[in-house]
């Protein structure tokens, strides 16, 4: 079994314990900034299928999210004009070349070696990832790669569930595309229903939200998030 497949299997085993069986409680502390209309059926158990793992999901214009399988198919990148990739599963590969399979085609990579563990410091990577995505999506940047403008970014980890979702959520907050973490989470999960940042990463996302909002009360609490992820 390849290193990538082993990592995906480990992540899936962990995330089976993180499936949602009921919605985030409303009216509790930190929940006042929830959007008025949350997509129906959003907070329900989700079956993690092979198709869901391989899907390359568009989160916002020019920004995509997937697992390692989706990132290893050139057709997925070329058909979406993806020229920048953040690979948060660099620890799954034996060498740098494997972690950057399309570098020879002009794709620019940001490879980060971090595991999907609650004690990992993903916060320290938020600014670099935001800058990488923002630069790639900047409409003033029109450097051609094989005749295509640099206009799309793909973010992936092993399964496209925790690490990559955390970075995308952080980007939405840092770029101002989402006013709160709750808004960001709802938007991303509506487009890739299998996302579940581990609890340590969620703590760090709340830290980022507090920093950006001047230490205002969070839009979601860890008590809510942990309860939300428990199975009945």
Could you tell me if residue 14 is inside a domain? no
196: pLDDT strictly greater than 80: yes
Sign for the pseudo-dihedral over CA of 156, 170, 232, 117: positive
**What stretch of H or E contains 109?**
strand 108-111
Q: Decide: 154 and 66 in contact? Cβ < 8 Å.
A: yes
The CA angle 217-222-227, to the nearest 5 degrees, is: 130
Could you tell me if residue 27 is inside a domain? no
**Range in 11-20, 71-80, 103-112 the model is least confident about:** 11-20
Query: Domain of 66?
Result: 51-114+121-229
Q: What is the pLDDT of residue 31?
A: 36
Alpha-carbon distance 75 to 32, whole Å? 42
pLDDT in tens, 59-90: 999 999 999 999 999 999 999 999 999 999 87
**What mean pLDDT is predicted for residues 176-189?**
94
pLDDT higher at 107 or 96: 107
Could you tell me if residue 143 is inside a domain? yes
What total number of domains does the chain contain?
1
Radius of gyration (Cα) for the chain, nearest Å?
Answer: 17
Q: Which is nearest to 92 in space by CA: 196, 192, 216, 7?
A: 7
In CATH, what number is assigned to the domain containing residue 86?
A: 3.90.190.10
Could you tell me if residue 3 is inside a domain? no
pLDDT higher at 160 or 216: 160
Could you tell me if residue 179 is inside a domain? yes
Q: What is the pLDDT of residue 29?
A: 35
Residue 5: pLDDT band (50, 70, 90) is low
Q: What is the pLDDT of residue 40?
A: 38
27: pLDDT strictly greater than 50: no
25: pLDDT strictly greater than 50: no
Could you tell me if residue 9 is inside a domain? no
Alpha-carbon distance 117 to 137, whole Å? 29
pLDDT higher at 216 or 56: 56
Q: What is the pLDDT of residue 209?
A: 96
228: pLDDT strictly greater than 50: yes
- Give DSSP secondary structure letters for 35-88: -S-PPTT-SS-----HHHHH--EEEETTEEEE-HHHHT-HHHHHTTTEEEEEET
The catalytic residues are 157
Q: Decide: 122 and 164 in contact? Cβ < 8 Å.
A: no
């Amino acid at each position: 079994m390849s290193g990538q497949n082993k990592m995906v299997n480990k992540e899936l085993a962990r995330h089976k314990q993180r499936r949602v069986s009921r919605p985030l409680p409303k009216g509790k502390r930190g929940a006042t900034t929830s959007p008025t209309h949350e997509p129906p059926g959003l907070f329900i158990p989700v079956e993690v299928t092979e198709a869901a793992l391989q899907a390359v999901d568009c989160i916002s214009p020019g920004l995509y999210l997937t697992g390692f399988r989706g990132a290893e198919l050139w057709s997925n990148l070329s058909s979406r004009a993806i020229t920048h990739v953040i690979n948060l599963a660099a620890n799954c590969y034996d060498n740098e070349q494997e972690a950057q399979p399309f570098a020879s085609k002009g794709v620019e990579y940001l490879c980060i070696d971090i595991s999907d563990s609650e004690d990992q410091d993903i916060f320290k990577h938020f600014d670099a990832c935001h800058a990488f995505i923002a630069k790639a999506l900047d409409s003033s940047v029109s450097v051609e790669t094989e005749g295509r403008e640099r206009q799309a970014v793909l973010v992936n980890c092993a399964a496209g569930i925790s690490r990559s979702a955390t970075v995308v959520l952080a980007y939405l907050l840092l770029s101002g595309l989402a006013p709160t973490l709750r808004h960001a989470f709802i938007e991303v999960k509506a487009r890739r229903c299998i996302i579940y940042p581990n609890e340590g990463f969620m703590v760090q996302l709340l830290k980022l939200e507090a920093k950006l909002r001047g230490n205002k009360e969070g839009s979601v609490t860890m008590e809510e998030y942990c309860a939300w992820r428990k199975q009945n």
